[in-house]
Amino acid sequence: MTCKCGIDLTPKAKFCPECGTPAPKPEPLKESKIEEILTTYEAAEFLKISRWKIYDLIRKKQIPFKEVGTQKRFVKARLIEWMQV
Ligand SMILES: [Zn+2]
């Protein structure tokens, strides 16, 4: 977090120690951003294919996905790109 005057603020700082300006609030995560990440189930729905088919595509690494631990996650924008190829 940086003040308008260019001073780096600590996350807990309510005011800039340099110019006294109230610290900007961290932006809340926008819903549209959250929607860009899909679970396997949501990705299958989005692509209008069966979950069985999406697991098949994952296994063959034919679809762009991220592994978060044991979970698979899909970035909607990447799926759209992938569909357009
Ligand atoms: Zn400042």
Decide: helix, strand or coil at residue 79.
helix
pLDDT in tens, 5-42: 999 988 888 999 999 999 877 767 666 555 689 999 99
Report the distance separating Cα 38 and Cα 68, nearest Å.
Answer: 12
Q: With pLDDT > 90 as the criterion, what percentage of the chain qualifies?
A: 67
Looking at the fold, whether 20 and 40 belong to one and the same domain comes out as: no
Residue 58 CA to ligand 1 center (angstroms) comes to: 49
The model carries a pTM of 0.57
Looking at the fold, whether 21 and 51 belong to one and the same domain comes out as: no
Residue 63 CA to ligand 1 center (angstroms) comes to: 47
Residue 30 CA to ligand 1 center (angstroms) comes to: 26
Looking at the fold, whether 16 and 56 belong to one and the same domain comes out as: no
Q: How many domains does the chain have?
A: 2
Residue 11 CA to ligand 1 center (angstroms) comes to: 14
H or E element, residue 71: strand 71-75
Looking at the fold, whether 24 and 44 belong to one and the same domain comes out as: no
Residue 26 CA to ligand 1 center (angstroms) comes to: 16
Structural domain that includes position 51: 36-84
